[in-house]
Amino acid sequence: GFLLGLESRGRASIAVSAVATVVASAARFGWPAGLAAASALVLALSRRYNDVGPVKEFIMSKTDIEIVDAPIPKAPYELQLDGELVGERKAKVSWYIKSDDALRRGLRDGALGFGEAYMEGQWDTDDIERFCSELLRLEGVEKELGWRAVPLLFSLVLGAASSRLIPRNTLKSAPVNVGFHYNISNRLYEKMLGPTMMYSSAYFCRPGMDLDEAQRTKMKMIAEKLDLRPGLRVLEIGFGWGSVAHFLASEYGVKVTGLSLSQEQLEFARERNAHPNVEFLLQDYRTLAAEPFDRIVSIEMIEHVGRKHLPEFFSKCDDLLVKDGVMLIQSIGCSIWKVMVGKSFIEKYIFPGCEPPQQTDFASITSRFHLEDWQSFGKDYARTMRLWRYNLGNWEGLEEFDERFRRMWEYYLLSCAASFDRRRTKVWQLVYTKTGSGRTRDCHHA
């Protein structure tokens, strides 16, 4: 009777009914009968799970995705100078499913499952960013899939639990996490990032700006917000490839100490961005013992701190900043809890240990720091990531990276572009002074 009901119900509550049925069968007829009922249930669920037809219909009914029967030829990635897309937007984005297992993986693991299936060539599309943007429209309506949504919801809960219970970015694990991504190949980053070697969102404040101009504009904006003057001592936590440190020392006459956990970045910065007033160190900010600095800047490093370690991060910054100092943090942020769960494509393949903060995560530091300014420009990150993908072209000169890596990297860049464009993820610049500061005015840069 239960199995007949299974065919008609199609709701997430089926899982509760399943357990109740097995327990009732065991109580009435003994555990062999209960196990037999469980086996029959698993078999029925498996057959229903393998039928992805309803899932395809669900996706097409809720989005502008069109499933096509023929393989999609690979076309050059075209883009305007300022990161805007070329041409008119098509009414539908095409999706070619080579294996239905791609859908099952998506049902089980969400974005992680779809990403892995793309890496392995199980599906293709004529527009990765648009496709991912359309999939994001399904957030919040997963329950309409009924019992098919149970594996995905369970996966999200499990990922959220692991992200809170498993220690991340400790003094021991942080260098491993950083090296996983930033020590891949300086040649890859040189081709992708361009001359500025800035691996953070650019600032497109005027029409027609190219990537390099937008990155330099961002660096100038950072300098103005920090209220720099010659001779000031600046600490940069996470110096990347050294571009910001060199820019601030060269253009504003400050002395910069930069910290990183990447050996590849350290070697590049010391070779390409050496300056008499810049010192690059391979060191964790938590172990730095130094006289307080006049200014602190950290550009998209705080995501690697981990939400549990944010109070420790700001406490250390409090120790390392003079009473009347200024601190600027540029951070990727998230608007919903799903972005932060541990079982994600970005966390597994791109940035291990990465946890973008939410707005509320900054509330715990209000006793130490006074927030002077909060600027958001996440839409510009969509443009930035598109231009990074455009710079890669057909991967000329990067033949050491196989097709699986290239597909992984392109999915990373363009799925993130979709998320920033939809404002699901953010880019923030926050300017802080100390609560007890003697500075006479706020937002001096405005």
Active-site annotation, residues? 416
Q: What one-character DSSP code corresponds to residue 127?
A: -
**8 A C-beta contact, residue 304 and residue 169:** yes
Q: How many CB atoms lie within 10 A of CB 229?
A: 11
Q: How many CB atoms lie within 10 A of CB 183?
A: 14
**8 A C-beta contact, residue 434 and residue 325:** yes
**Cβ-count burial of 204 within 10 angstroms (0-12 exposed, 13-18 middle, 19+ buried)?**
buried
Nearest to residue 203, comparing CAs of 136, 299, 130? 299
Handedness of CA 420, 80, 242, 205 (dihedral sign): negative
Q: Which residue spans within 277-344 are E strands per DSSP?
A: 278-282, 293-299, 321-334
As a whole number of angstroms, the distance between CA 308 and CA 289 comes to 22
- Give the distance from CA 210 to its chain's centroid: 23
Using DSSP's 3-state secondary structure scheme, residue 65 falls into strand
